[in-house]
């Protein structure tokens, strides 16, 4: 089981690709490099990588496209490496299927912690998939909202709500601990799998905002996803 994990680096800037490769090696990972989007997608589809580090601005095919096309076939965890802060919203909002992101310039320690957390979480998901018998009784009903963990489905007044994976997981976590407020840090740890300060709390805020836009009648006056001043978020 102690087989080396293999990371695919999709990055056109040689310096960054080399820096990533060097640090992955130092941390006991194997790596593979693709220097444009087309090659990245090809390698990602053909290989058995444990995680993909994906740049957004790439020749031939951009990172958004690579991620979307990959998700049609595979669930390999993807961490987007982006140079631009303002793209964070786009990454989290569009359902391109990315699991996480870091912005350049990034700290190697943070990146390594994220890689580890994402690989670990992915491995747990595969193992912990509940059997249908176990999850039969687990539907969560809060007024007009129904969360069905078996189908990964959320409906509001009977209408299915289209959520990204993380939006779903955050909502389900809060709903199964109804009325209990969580800090952003706690949510990063419980829902995203990050420890200590390695996560970015804005990720939580953005995801909450998206959820409100999708679920609430009036997102500025939420009835489900509440803010507990000075603490964090909860579901009422």
Binding site for Ca ion (CB under 5 A): 12, 55, 57
Query: Toward Ca ion, which CB reaches closer, 12 or 150?
Result: 12
Q: Which is nearer to Ca ion, 53 or 225 (CB)?
A: 53
Output 67 or 174, the one with its CB closest to Ca ion.
Answer: 67
Least separation in angstroms between residue 61's CB and Ca ion is 12
Helix (H) or strand (E) holding 52: strand 51-55
Q: How far is the CB of 57 from Ca ion (least distance, A)?
A: 4
Of the candidates 216, 91, 57, 235, the one whose C-alpha atom is nearest the C-alpha of residue 166 is 91
In whole angstroms, the minimum distance from the beta carbon of 197 to Ca ion comes to: 27
CB-nearer residue toward Ca ion: 18 or 176: 18
CB of 83 to Ca ion, least distance (A): 7
Neighbouring residues of 197: CB distance < 8 A, sequence distance ≥ 6: none
Of 11 and 50, nearer to Ca ion (C-beta) is 11
Least Cβ distance, residue 114 to Ca ion (angstroms): 19
DSSP string of 73-141? T----EEEEES-TTHHHHHHHS-S---EEEESS--HHHHHHHHHHHHHHHHHHHHHPPPHHHHTT--EE
Query: What span, in angstroms and rounded, lies between the C-alpha atoms of 161 and 54?
Result: 28
Nearest C-alpha neighbor of 228 from the set 207, 208, 211, 214: 208
């Amino acid at each position: 089981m102690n087989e080396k994990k293999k990371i695919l680096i999709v990055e056109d800037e040689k310096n960054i690709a080399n820096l990533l490769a060097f640090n992955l090696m130092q941390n006991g990972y194997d790596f593979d490099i693709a220097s444009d989007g087309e090659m990245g997608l090809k390698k990602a589809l053909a290989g058995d990588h444990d995680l993909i580090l994906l740049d957004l601005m790439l020749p031939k095919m951009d990172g958004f496209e690579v991620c979307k096309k990959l998700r049609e076939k595979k669930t390999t965890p993807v961490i987007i490496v982006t140079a631009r802060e303002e793209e964070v919203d786009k990454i989290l909002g569009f359902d391109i299927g990315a699991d996480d992101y870091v912005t350049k310039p990034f700290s190697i320690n943070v990146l390594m912690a994220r890689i580890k957390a994402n690989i670990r979480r992915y491995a747990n998901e595969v193992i912990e998939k509940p059997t249908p018998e176990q999850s039969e009784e687990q539907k969560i009903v809060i007024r007009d909202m129904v969360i069905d963990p078996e189908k990964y489905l959320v409906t509001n007044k009977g209408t299915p709500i289209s959520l990204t994976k993380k939006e779903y997981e955050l909502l389900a976590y809060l709903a199964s601990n109804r009325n209990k407020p969580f800090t952003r840090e706690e949510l990063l740890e419980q829902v995203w799998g990050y420890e200590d300060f390695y996560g970015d709390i804005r990720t939580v805020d953005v995801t909450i905002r998206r959820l409100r836009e999708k679920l609430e009648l009036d997102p500025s006056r939420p009835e489900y996803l509440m803010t507990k001043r000075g603490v964090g978020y909860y579901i009422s």
